[in-house]
Amino acid sequence: MVPVQYYFILSALLFFIGVYGFVSRRNLIAMLISVELILNAVEINFAAFNRLLFPGQLEGFFMSLFGIGVAAAETAVAIAIIINVYRNFNSDSVDSIQNMKR
The answer to whether 14 and 41 have CB atoms below 8 angstroms apart is: yes
CB of 38 vs another protein, minimal distance in Å: 10
Q: Least distance from C-beta 102 to another protein, angstroms?
A: 11
What is the nearest approach in angstroms of another protein to the Cβ of residue 92?
5
Please, which residue, 21 or 98, has the CB nearer to another protein? 21
3-state secondary structure of 97: coil
Burial of 92 (0-12, 13-18, 19+ CB in 10 A): middle
Q: Is there binding between residue 47 and another protein (CB under 8 A)?
A: yes
